[in-house]
Chain A
């Protein structure tokens, strides 16, 4: 299980989108492409969308899976489905303490006599590769090889506080803090090199364990010389950096949920085989495109995508807690709590999409929980494409699917499940209109991404509003509202984070 809460509701929404596009007679892929948020926009719930690679994700899985040749064209029992998802890159509000006063992540750097840099961080390495990410961030800024970076991350007595490994936040927040600390350290080194070489730091470059004049690399000092000079000047060479999110979010109740400095996006296509007689679903292949901003460690990102598919497959097909009459968990062991084995795991084609987020470390966003979301709806929608059954309950265990098949057979007066009609697709006139809109939006997104178009995004085009005129001119009921306003920001009670200021009252005794 990953991305608790978000996953199941996302699945419901995506299955609903598929059902809507079915009723409208529109290809679900085109339908999604025509309804994407543009980059640099704000949702009605106050989420600030910076970069988004959703369009590219959809385009890539559409092309690589051969969507246009397969959708509703495969024989009965075989189907293809698409699902999308987005996820926070770290919770915008920390779960532990007052976000106004403390940073989300802090990193301390310490440069020793040997020129090596020790990174002290509280980020919990739980196997996801956070140690590598923080070391990469420091080595990138200081232009040092990775073997000169030492990470001390598992020592709660020496490490600075960190919120922990949750809400897919570690790379985004911890690497950002590490970059700031490394810039601080770099400036101290450059100042020392200035004294030694006589060139202003603006004209100095770090690289190859040296600090040198950018127009003539022969002029310069070694990294070690600069380190020793800096240590001689200040007594010690240490630096610290921290990261906190900027104030964000609306002022309505529940505004704090789902806030994040950046969002990752993903789109998957799954191809399945459904046995209509028994209700068994087998995923044959999955194409998984994930927009992680910038892949700092592409191997780890691909691993996360494939691992997410495995976890998601269990969630959509088999993993379930069964309870007895008295509330006893009947399957508390790994034999009866059915995690997919290697036999059930399909071939997954991981596709990394890079949208270069302006606030992420070197443009990176998360690749932890986000990649799990789309596999569930992709499988559910593929099941519909295969046998025309739209499930409304997870997981899709054979007995559940079989029950739905039986119900449909009964409703249609069919004896054998294999005689059920194969779902077909006839595009309605709306298809061309939607496809045109998708193309227009692609152009709009490109211009917004290149910062040629800086107009505020109007989130009401589908309801008949003209995107080129302010919506307040078109409808009296609408009002332009920028949240949070300046007054909102001043008023503590209106901040999204006010829930954390709530003082819990506890009573003793009977009172």
Chain B
């Protein structure tokens, strides 16, 4: 299980990175971006969708800007946790990711763009050969999905990153750069429901930074996740809730989930319904049930999907608990 050899490009500015990407594209070469590497390199060790060229973003200083409303893609998770002026919800969420070692290496952009995970995909090459590959890494065999055979062409691998729901609850916008230009969008429009495509990023496009709206500081929130061990483990289910106002006089409510489907879920409809008929603590149970009904996990991570689904209502209850403490 060795990392296959690849050519590492180390641009020092965004323009240089775009030039490198443009040149590789012009030559018809496929390539990967690498930020912290805590997700990509283990996958490379397992020979999962490896490329010949890898462009590292580690030397680009302009992507490391961190302010209360501007979070560069190359900001280390640890810096986000330690950053005194980052939003408390982001700090709490980032502080729960994996372990200290991984947080010191992994980046915000890398966490947002985390590859989806599946019991039938995140395995060694020999293991995958024994099941004749799977849809997400089919080695040109056109293999079927192993989780739900004979389904359509979608991959159902699970998105297990923590930061996305927290950013969604703060109404963050994501900013992308490619050799052909820049574009921005709300974070919940960034993801695409497919375990292979995952998001709207085109070949050669990267996430440059995320921004929070100016009123983000008025929003309070909490992130709760389900994982067996306190460190290392990916979330089997995660719920982030942010609110504006307090107690029974709630002015705003946002809910997002992760770890259940191929993309994080932003549950605007459920949050609006709850807000309309808000009756303080009595509304929490109905909200939890609504989220539980909305999310449909599949059997490809450690905990069985039925359990993960049931736990969502418990996580909702716990994530919103601070609202009633104030």
- A contact set with B: CB distance below 8 Å: 277-278, 318, 322, 324, 326, 328, 330-332, 335-336, 338, 340-341, 343-344, 397-399, 402-403
Surface stretch bound by A, among B62-70, B108-116, B223-231, B276-284 = B223-231
Q: Is the CB of A343 within 8 A of B120?
A: no
Surface stretch bound by A, among B73-81, B184-192, B302-310 = B302-310
A403 to B119, CA, bound (A): 23
Q: Is the CB of B314 within 8 A of A277?
A: yes
Query: Of the candidates B119, B229, B307, B310, which one forms a contact with A331 in the assembled complex, judged by CB atoms under 8 Å apart?
Result: B119
Closest to B226 in A: A278
A150 to B325, CA, bound (A): 66
A343 to B228, CA, bound (A): 11
Pull 6 A–B residue pairs with CB atoms less than 8 Å apart, ordered by A.
Answer: A324-B146, A326-B131, A328-B130, A336-B119, A338-B228, A344-B229
A295 to chain B, nearest CB (A): 33
Q: Is the CB of A338 within 8 A of B229?
A: yes
Query: Of the candidates A278, A343, A402, which one forms a contact with B229 in the assembled complex, judged by CB atoms under 8 Å apart?
Result: A343
Q: Is the CB of B302 within 8 A of A343?
A: no
Q: Does chain A have a CB within 8 A of B232?
A: yes
4 smallest CB-CB distances across A and B, nearest first, come from A343-B230, A399-B307, A330-B119, A277-B314
Query: Of the candidates A278, A322, A335, A336, which one forms a contact with B311 in the assembled complex, judged by CB atoms under 8 Å apart?
Result: A278
Query: Of the candidates B119, B146, B228, which one forms a contact with A397 in the assembled complex, judged by CB atoms under 8 Å apart?
Result: B228
Query: Of the candidates B119, B124, B303, B310, which one forms a contact with A324 in the assembled complex, judged by CB atoms under 8 Å apart?
Result: B119
Q: A335-B233, A336-B119, A341-B232 are in contact. List 11 more A-B contacts (CB 8 A).
A: A277-B314, A278-B311, A324-B120, A331-B302, A335-B234, A338-B233, A343-B231, A397-B228, A398-B303, A399-B303, A402-B310
Q: Does chain A have a CB within 8 A of B199?
A: no
Q: Does chain A have a CB within 8 A of B86?
A: no
**In the assembled complex, which residues on chain A have CB atoms less than 8 Å from the CB atom of B232?**
335, 341
| Chain B positions 122-179 with a Cβ under 8 Å from a chain A Cβ | 123-124, 127, 130-131, 146
Closest to A275 in B: B314
**In the assembled complex, which residues on chain B have CB atoms less than 8 Å from the CB atom of A332?**
123-124, 127
**In the assembled complex, which residues on chain B have CB atoms less than 8 Å from the CB atom of A277?**
314
A311 to chain B, nearest CB (A): 16
- B contact set with A: CB distance below 8 Å: 119-120, 123-124, 127, 130-131, 146, 226, 228-234, 302-304, 307, 310-311, 314
**In the assembled complex, which residues on chain B have CB atoms less than 8 Å from the CB atom of A397?**
228, 303
Q: Is the CB of B307 within 8 A of A402?
A: yes
**In the assembled complex, which residues on chain A have CB atoms less than 8 Å from the CB atom of B302?**
322, 331, 336, 338
Query: Of the candidates A318, A322, A335, A341, which one forms a contact with B230 in the assembled complex, judged by CB atoms under 8 Å apart?
Result: A341
**In the assembled complex, which residues on chain A have CB atoms less than 8 Å from the CB atom of B230?**
341, 343-344
B309 to chain A, nearest CB (A): 11
Closest to B118 in A: A330
**In the assembled complex, which residues on chain A have CB atoms less than 8 Å from the CB atom of B127?**
328, 332
**In the assembled complex, which residues on chain B have CB atoms less than 8 Å from the CB atom of A344?**
229-230
**In the assembled complex, which residues on chain B have CB atoms less than 8 Å from the CB atom of A335?**
232-234
Dominant SS at the B interface? Answer: loop
A464 to B136, CA, bound (A): 68
Dominant SS at the A interface? Answer: loop
A332 to B128, CA, bound (A): 12
A488 to B120, CA, bound (A): 58
Q: Is the CB of A399 within 8 A of B304?
A: yes
A296 to chain B, nearest CB (A): 35
B243 to chain A, nearest CB (A): 22
A278 to B311, CA, bound (A): 7
**In the assembled complex, which residues on chain B have CB atoms less than 8 Å from the CB atom of A340?**
229
A322 to B303, CA, bound (A): 10
**In the assembled complex, which residues on chain A have CB atoms less than 8 Å from the CB atom of B130?**
328
**In the assembled complex, which residues on chain A have CB atoms less than 8 Å from the CB atom of B310?**
402
**In the assembled complex, which residues on chain A have CB atoms less than 8 Å from the CB atom of B124?**
332
A315 to chain B, nearest CB (A): 14
Query: Of the candidates B120, B234, B314, which one forms a contact with A278 in the assembled complex, judged by CB atoms under 8 Å apart?
Result: B314
Closest to A416 in B: B285
Closest to A399 in B: B307
Q: Is the CB of A398 within 8 A of B119?
A: no
A397 to B226, CA, bound (A): 12
Closest to A344 in B: B229
**In the assembled complex, which residues on chain A have CB atoms less than 8 Å from the CB atom of B119?**
322, 324, 330-331, 336
A402 to B131, CA, bound (A): 32
A397 to B303, CA, bound (A): 9
Q: Is the CB of A328 within 8 A of B229?
A: no
B265 to chain A, nearest CB (A): 20
**In the assembled complex, which residues on chain A have CB atoms less than 8 Å from the CB atom of B231?**
341, 343
**In the assembled complex, which residues on chain B have CB atoms less than 8 Å from the CB atom of A403?**
307
B255 to chain A, nearest CB (A): 19
A402 to B124, CA, bound (A): 32
A361 to chain B, nearest CB (A): 40
A66 to chain B, nearest CB (A): 27
A326 to B130, CA, bound (A): 10
Q: Is the CB of B131 within 8 A of A328?
A: yes
**In the assembled complex, which residues on chain A have CB atoms less than 8 Å from the CB atom of B131?**
324, 326, 328
Q: Is the CB of B307 within 8 A of A341?
A: no
A343 to B307, CA, bound (A): 23
A278 to B233, CA, bound (A): 17
Closest to A338 in B: B228
**In the assembled complex, which residues on chain B have CB atoms less than 8 Å from the CB atom of A402?**
307, 310-311
A344 to B310, CA, bound (A): 24
A399 to B303, CA, bound (A): 7
Closest to A343 in B: B230
**In the assembled complex, which residues on chain A have CB atoms less than 8 Å from the CB atom of B304?**
399
**In the assembled complex, which residues on chain A have CB atoms less than 8 Å from the CB atom of B307?**
398-399, 402-403
Closest to B308 in A: A399
Closest to A334 in B: B232
Closest to B124 in A: A332
A398 to chain B, nearest CB (A): 7
A398 to B303, CA, bound (A): 9
A341 to B302, CA, bound (A): 17
**In the assembled complex, which residues on chain A have CB atoms less than 8 Å from the CB atom of B234?**
335
**In the assembled complex, which residues on chain A have CB atoms less than 8 Å from the CB atom of B146?**
324
B160 to chain A, nearest CB (A): 11
Interface centre among B119, B120, B232, B302 (most CB of A within 10 A): B302
**In the assembled complex, which residues on chain B have CB atoms less than 8 Å from the CB atom of A318?**
228-229
B289 to chain A, nearest CB (A): 12
Closest to A282 in B: B230
A248 to chain B, nearest CB (A): 44
Quick one: given A324-B119, A402-B307, are A341 and B226 in contact (CB under 8 Å)?
A: no
B183 to chain A, nearest CB (A): 35
A277 to B302, CA, bound (A): 19
A344 to B304, CA, bound (A): 22
**In the assembled complex, which residues on chain B have CB atoms less than 8 Å from the CB atom of A399?**
303-304, 307
Closest to B311 in A: A278
**In the assembled complex, which residues on chain A have CB atoms less than 8 Å from the CB atom of B123?**
332
A326 to B304, CA, bound (A): 18
Interface centre among A278, A324, A330, A338 (most CB of B within 10 A): A330
Closest to B99 in A: A341
B138 to chain A, nearest CB (A): 17
A402 to B303, CA, bound (A): 12
Closest to A325 in B: B146
Closest to B128 in A: A328
Interface centre among A277, A318, A332, A399 (most CB of B within 10 A): A399
Closest to A328 in B: B131
A397 to B229, CA, bound (A): 11
A414 to chain B, nearest CB (A): 15
Closest to A340 in B: B229
Closest to B119 in A: A330
A278 to B231, CA, bound (A): 18
